[in-house]
Amino acid sequence: MAFENKMTSDGGAPVKIKIRLRTRCPSTLQEGFVHLGDEKMSEEFLIKEMEKYKEKHMALLEDISKLEQKKEDAENLAQKFKERAEKEEKKMMENERVLSDQNQKFQTTINSSWENNQKLKAEEQHMKDRIFYLEKENEKLEAICSSGVERKMVFKGKVSGNIPRCPMNVKHQIRFSVNGGTALIVFEDPSVAARLIKKNSHKVAMEDSHINVKAEPVQLMVLDTLSMDMSRSPHKILVSNLPASIAKENLLDKLELFFSKTRNGGGEVESREFLADSWSVILTFANEGVAPQLVEKKKFDVPFGEKDTYQVCVSPSLDGNITKYQMKRLLCNRTVLITGIPDIKDEETMKDLLEIHFQKASNDGGEVQELLYCPEGKNTVALFEDDEDDQPQKE
């Protein structure tokens, strides 16, 4: 059964509705089918059904619109989340880069600190080795200083404003060759020597004539620095504080006899050496174990006669080798070398004439302290020593 009706919705275009009804059994109404009575009631029923479905349709459209709005909102929210995620990712990547740079800097700092630490450890080890070496050297010096070598010292009021670089003082004794036809003159005032050297040429009056001579500076080669490698001898001892009233040979015999006996801690004496400048003796033993034990005891009562006993001091004997030295030129500030002196007068007369000439202030001279003249055809040697002035002495 089919029913077709035309109607309009809200004054719009006509809507065609076609309903097909089917029945299998005349006496039974099947599900999905609408039983219509008369035609009038069927039309009203259909209109109501159409309105009802229209409302449902509108509701569905409204639901669709809401769903689309929610979808759009969800997409906007998803876009915001995406943008925020991208922003956070960029921020995280930037943080990772910053952290990587900081980590690199920290690693560089750590490496530098490690290298500095290694250098400090090396320096510390070097200082420890140096301290150990100095302690050993100090022990040697203490052994030497405390070995019982005694000297009587007295302060006489003389002071010095300079602290010496080395506690060892070297006294120079320099031999200066004086050739023939020259003279050495020592003045009391250094400015006189400097003035004569600066003028250089001088005319010295003789009794009936004059001679032309030259004034030149005196330069000596002296020791400037000295390095020595010193060590304690295992075979030798230095015996000091010896009585001055006993002859040299008697001293040597008594000391050799005393220190060769084992009951005195000694042993076989191989050699002996007398030091006249310090009035002491160096004994050399055949066995190297003897000298250290004698040095450790330091003092011994040695009989030098039947009843006379004298306490002597035993200290280490040092063996030294010069490892380095430097020389320098030293200008004698009060000494002038006069050259070009002809052999026209005897030695004493020429010496007096030179002294008279260079002592006069009118000749740029001054007070003469010493004068050494060597005539032509002869040679002599002047000895210079360190005693605060340059005094030449004839040998």
d(CA 217, CA 226): 26
Predicted local distance difference test score (pLDDT) of residue 140: 56
d(CA 141, CA 57): 120
Query: Of the ranges 31-45, 109-123, 212-226, 331-345, which one carries the lowest mean pLDDT score?
Result: 31-45
Predicted local distance difference test score (pLDDT) of residue 190: 92
35-90, pLDDT tens digit by residue?
545 555 578 888 888 888 988 999 999 999 999 999 899 899 999 988 988 989 88
Query: 3-state DSSP call for residue 53?
Result: helix
d(CA 387, CA 391): 9
Name the pLDDT band for 223 (thresholds 50, 70, 90): confident
Predicted local distance difference test score (pLDDT) of residue 201: 93
124-145, pLDDT tens digit by residue?
888 888 788 777 666 655 554 4
Structure tokens at 373: 């003249």
**H-type helices in 146-181, by residue range?**
none
Structure tokens at 390: 């340059």
Q: Report whether pLDDT(260) > 80.
A: yes
Structure tokens at 51: 């309105």
DSSP 107: H
pTM of the full predicted structure? 0.43
d(CA 339, CA 273): 46
d(CA 338, CA 363): 14
Q: What is the 3-state secondary structure (H, E, C) of 269-284?
A: EEEEEEECCCCEEEEE
Query: 3-state DSSP call for residue 124?
Result: helix
Name the pLDDT band for 392 (thresholds 50, 70, 90): very low
**Strand intervals (E) in the chain:** 2-8, 14-20, 173-178, 182-187, 201-205, 210-240, 269-275, 280-285, 299-303, 309-339, 368-374, 380-385
Contact 393, 382 (CB under 8 A): yes
Structure tokens at 80: 């915001």
d(CA 304, CA 255): 9
Name the pLDDT band for 157 (thresholds 50, 70, 90): very low
Mean pLDDT computed over 175-194: 91
Percent of the chain residues topping a pLDDT of 70: 77
Q: Report whether pLDDT(215) > 90.
A: yes
Q: Report whether pLDDT(299) > 60.
A: yes
| φ/ψ (deg, to 5) at 57 | -65, -45
